[in-house]
Amino acid sequence: MRPARGAGRPHPSWALPAVLFFGLFALVPMVLAFGLSFTTWNGLGEPRPAGLANWHALLTDGRLTRSLTVTVALTAVSCAFQTTTALLLGVWAAGPQRNRAVLSAVFFVPFLLSSTAVSLLFYALLDPNFGIVPGDTLGTTSGAFLALVFVGGWQFIPFHTLIYQGGARQIPEVLYQAAAIDGAGRLRRFRSITLPQLRNTAATSGVLMVVGSLTYFETVLILTQGGPGTDTAILPYLMYESGFKAYDFGYASAIATFLVVAATALSLLLVRVTGFGAMRSTREGM
C-alpha cells in the first residue's frame, strides 16, 4: 500500500449511514437480547426483571446441553458429508470432460430453490404414506438426523462445489505436468498436489458451512419440528420454540445471547482463517 497522497479521498462520515443502519437492526438487538435475558416477558405487555433466573434455568435444565450436542453433531456430520462431496465434484468439474458444463449446470439446480422449498420437497418425499423412502424416516432419531444432513447437503453442496471448482482451476498446470514427468500416479497427484493446494479453499468453504449450518432452522422447523422428542432441536430452533411457541422470551433471549457469543467467536475464526480482514488486493499474486 502506498502512503496516502493527494486529495480526493472521501470523508469517513460517508460510512456513517451504513453503520447506523446496521447498528439499529443488528447491534442494538444483540445488546437488547442480552438485556432481555434478565427479564420475564411473554411477548405481550412489558418485560419484567427476573435477575439470573433464565440463565440459571438455561445452564441447569439440560436443554442447552442437549441442543448444543445436536447442533455440534449436525454441523460436524454435515460438514464432513458436504466437504467430501463438494471437493470431489469440484475437482472433477474443474477438469476437461466434455459433458462437464452440462452436468455442472444440472448439479446447480437444487441451489436455485429456497431452503423452504427444498424442505417442503423432502417433507413430501419422506412422507410415510406417500414418499419414495419406505418407512417413517423422520419418526426415528437417526432417520431424522440423517435426513437433515442429507437435505442440507442436497441444497448446499452445489454452492460449495462451485467454490472448490474455482479453487481447483487456480492450481497451476505446471505442478501436474512436473508430477507426470516424475511418474506420479493419479491418486498421488490428487493427494500431493490437489489437496494441499486447496487448503485455503477448504478453510473458506468449511467456515461458511459451519456458519451456514445455523440456518438449518427452516429445515428443522418444516421436517422434524425438533423431533422426535427434542432429538433434532438445534439451538436456533430451541430459541424459536422457547420464544415464539412457549412465549418464554426471556429464556429465548438467553439462548440468543449464547448464539451471539458463539457466532462472534466463529466470525473471528472466519476472519483469521480466510484472511478476509487483511487489507490486500485479490489480484495480488496473480
Partner 1 sequence: MTRPANPLAGLGALVWLAVVLVPVYVMLSVSLTRQDEALGANALRPPRHPTLANYGTVLDNGFGHFLANTVLVAAVVVGIVLVLCVPLAYVAVRTRGFWSGAAFRLFLLGVAVPAQAVVVPLYLMITKLHLYDSLLAVALPTAAFAMPVSVLVLTGTLRDVPEELYEAMALDGASPARMLFRLVVPLARGGIGTVVVYASLQAWNGFLFPLIFTQSEDSRVLTLGLFTYVSQFGVDIPALLASVVLSGVPVFAVYLVARRTLVGGLMGAGGK
Write out the binding residues for partner 1, residues 197-226 only, by CB under 8 A. 204-205, 208, 211, 214-215, 217-218, 222
Pick out residues in 103-162 that bind partner 1 (CB under 8 A): 103, 105-110, 112-117, 120-125, 127, 129-132, 154, 157, 159-160, 162
Interface mask toward partner 1 for 259-278; x: CB under 8 A = xx--xx-xxx-xx--x-xx-
The site for partner 1, by CB under 8 A, has a size of 111
Stretch that binds partner 1, among 21-29, 52-60, 72-80, 138-146 (CB under 8 A): 21-29
Instruction: Compose the 221-260 pattern: x for residues touching partner 1 by CB under 8 A, - for all others.
Output: -x------------xx--xx--xx----x--xx--xx-xx
Which residues from 151-190 bind partner 1, rule CB under 8 A? 154, 157, 159-160, 162-163, 166, 173, 176-177, 186
Q: Which stretch binds partner 1 (CB under 8 A): 52-60, 65-73, 83-91, 224-232?
A: 83-91
DSSP structure string for the chain: -PPP-SS-PPPGGGGHHHHHHHIIIIIHHHHHHHHHTTEE--SSS--EE-TTHHHHHHHHSSHHHHHHHHHHHHHHHHHHHHHHHHHHHHHHHTS--TTHHHHHHHHTHHHHS-HHHHHHHHHHHT-TTT-SS-S-GGGSHHHHHHHHHHHHHHHHHHHHHHHHHHHHHTS-HHHHHHHHHTT--HHHHIIIIIHHHTHHHHHHHHHHHHHHHGGGHHHHHHHTTT-STTTT--HHHHHHIIIIIT--HHHHHHHHHHHHHHHHHHHHHHHHHH-TTS---TTTT-
